[in-house]
Amino acid sequence: MLRRSRDVEFEIDHVHTAAEAIGKLDLNSYDLVIFDLGLPDNDGVAAIHRISLAHPSTPVFVLSGDERHEIAIAAIEAGAQDFLPKQHLAGQLLTRMAAMSIARQKRLRTAELASLTDSLTGIGNRRATDHAFERRQRRRVGGSPVFGLAMIDIDRFKSINDLYGHDVGDEVIREVAFKLSKASDPDWDVCRHGGEEFTVLFSSSSIEETNLIADRLQSSCTFSHGAAPVARVTASCGATLVEHDDTFRSASKRADYALYASKQGGRCRSFIHDGKSIHPVTRVDLSPFAFAPSADTTVALAFRQGQSKV
Ligand code: GH3
Ligand code: MG
């Protein structure tokens, strides 16, 4: 019916099971879901609940051959925006309802985007981290870790405020947000957790990779702010890999332990929590080598880790 509409052009993906629908919703952004209660793998109202919980900003219309009042109420209570009995469905009515719902949703999306954005820095806020974390956990397949969480906190920020004033403090927070975003890959989630603390969710499947990423994020926050007087800015980082059964709370607790170790260890450094214990991230110090590397210098390095040479 929607495809035949002459008034509105819809782009439509058609899938045959609730599982396929949820998979598509996790990967793409849709304006509307039209959900048939009679799908083969469908557990009815529970599936609507799952979809609306996972994608609260996508409206769901439910189609059903069962016109009973209680089914319609249960669908709406589970999160559906509308309930459409198949027998009485006309193309024009469906087109109109879909177009109006999409228009309404656009307005709500703008408001939702504002509610997920930190007003000082323009990056995501703490709610945005929660959303991004849940989205990444839903997308993960199998039990192995596929993303990490880093917490980055500006060092002795109170003294920046005290020495240079609150406005300069705000500028420093904005600059750190910018530097972290620049040091991050496009698909990472960089958010301001609150105050002078930031979170980054990044793709990583090993502790070694997490080490490198933590170092890259933390070192991007070492800079001088402003002309005389210059504020020297550094930050500390704690990071961990996210396990399949982690909540944001459990993963951030580990990252926070690691961040605390970085502060205790003298600041301007990173620690990693590997699930059991905390380790410092060691940076290779090239200063003993008497050469000035340029952009096209290739460096071969050998490391000794414990008893084995890598
Ligand atoms: P540490 O190295 O241990 O992290 O020390 P710190 O001084 O960075 O941490 P502390 O928690 O003692 O101080 C953080 C300060 O950040 C206190 C608070 O007034 C300030 N702050 C929090 N949010 C903002 C903000 O939005 N703007 C400015 N300018 N300051 C802020
Ligand atoms: Mg701090």
Reply yes or no on whether the pLDDT at 41 is more than 70. Answer: no
CA 104 to CA 98: how far, in whole Å?
Answer: 10
Reply yes or no on whether the pLDDT at 228 is more than 90. Answer: no
- The DSSP string of 138-161 is HH--SSS--EEEEEEEETTHHHHH
Q: 3-class SS at 235?
A: strand
Atom from ligand 1 closest to the CA of residue 157:
8
Q: Is the CB of 170 under 6 A from ligand 1?
A: yes
> Is 8 inside a domain boundary?
no
Q: For residue 13, what are its two tokens? A: 């993906």
For residue 180, the tally of other CB atoms under 10 A from its CB is 26
Choosing from 60, 89, 115, the residue where a domain stops is 115
Q: Are residues 24 and 148 in the same domain?
A: no
Q: Are residues 150 and 103 in the same domain?
A: no
At CA 1, angle to CA 47 and CA 97, rounded to 5?
Answer: 65
> Is 13 inside a domain boundary?
no
Q: Is the CB of 140 under 6 A from ligand 1?
A: no
pLDDT given at position 285: 63
> Is 208 inside a domain boundary?
yes
Per-residue confidence at 310, pLDDT binned at 50, 70, 90?
Answer: very low
Reply yes or no on whether the pLDDT at 42 is more than 70. Answer: no
> Is 257 inside a domain boundary?
yes
Atom from ligand 1 closest to the CA of residue 170:
29
Q: Which residue has the higher pLDDT, 95 or 144?
A: 95
Q: Which domain holds residue 76?
A: 18-115
- Which positions are annotated as active-site residues? 196
Q: For a pLDDT cut of 70, what percent of the chain falls above it?
A: 89
Reply yes or no on whether the pLDDT at 87 is more than 90. Answer: no
Q: Are residues 180 and 270 in the same domain?
A: yes
Reply yes or no on whether the pLDDT at 308 is more than 60. Answer: no
- From 29, 93, 108, 107, select the one nearest 61 (Cα to Cα): 93
Identify which of 196, 197, 232, 263 to mutate to test ligand 1's pocket (most ligand atoms within 8 A of the CB): 196
Q: Are residues 270 and 142 in the same domain?
A: yes
**pLDDT digits 0-9 by tens, 237-275:** 999 999 999 999 999 999 999 999 999 999 999 999 999
| CATH number reported for the structural domain that contains residue 61 in this entry | 3.40.50.2300
| CATH number reported for the structural domain that contains residue 287 in this entry | 3.30.70.270
pLDDT given at position 189: 97
Identify the helix (H) or strand (E) that includes residue 63.
strand 60-64
How far does the centroid of ligand 1 lie from the alpha carbon of residue 156, in Å? Answer: 7
Q: Whose CA is nearest to atom 24 of ligand 1?
A: 195
Lowest mean pLDDT among 48-57, 107-116, 171-180: 48-57
Atom from ligand 1 closest to the CA of residue 168:
29
pLDDT given at position 7: 85
Q: Are residues 85 and 205 in the same domain?
A: no
Domain count, the chain: 2
> Is 7 inside a domain boundary?
no
CA 99 to CA 31: how far, in whole Å?
Answer: 10
* Torsion sign (Cα): 292, 296, 297, 300: positive
> Is 11 inside a domain boundary?
no
Compute the mean pLDDT over every residue in the chain, rounded to the nearest whole number: 89
Ligand nearest to the CA of 157: 1
Mean pLDDT of 78-102: 89
Q: 3-class SS at 58?
A: coil
CA 167 to CA 156: how far, in whole Å?
Answer: 16
For residue 171, the tally of other CB atoms under 10 A from its CB is 17
Per-residue confidence at 300, pLDDT binned at 50, 70, 90?
Answer: low
> Is 254 inside a domain boundary?
yes
Q: Are residues 79 and 110 in the same domain?
A: yes
> Is 6 inside a domain boundary?
no
Burial of 92 (0-12, 13-18, 19+ CB in 10 A): exposed
Choosing from 81, 115, 149, the residue where a domain stops is 115
Q: Are residues 291 and 216 in the same domain?
A: yes
pLDDT given at position 20: 87
Q: Are residues 157 and 48 in the same domain?
A: no
Reply yes or no on whether the pLDDT at 119 is more than 90. Answer: yes
Mean pLDDT of 287-309: 61
Q: Are residues 166 and 26 in the same domain?
A: no
Atom from ligand 1 closest to the CA of residue 195:
23
pLDDT given at position 192: 98
Q: Is the CB of 198 under 6 A from ligand 1?
A: no
- The DSSP string of 199-257 is EEEEE-SSHHHHHHHHHHHHHHT-EEESSSSPEEE-EEEEEEEPPTT--HHHHHHHHHH
Q: Are residues 147 and 110 in the same domain?
A: no
Q: Whose CA is nearest to atom 12 of ligand 1?
A: 158
CA 38 to CA 65: how far, in whole Å?
Answer: 8
Lowest mean pLDDT among 108-122, 214-228, 293-307: 293-307
**pLDDT digits 0-9 by tens, 150-178:** 999 999 999 999 999 999 999 999 999 99
Identify the helix (H) or strand (E) that includes residue 232.
strand 231-233
Q: Is the CB of 42 under 6 A from ligand 1?
A: no
Q: For a pLDDT cut of 90, what percent of the chain falls above it?
A: 57
Q: Are residues 202 and 261 in the same domain?
A: yes
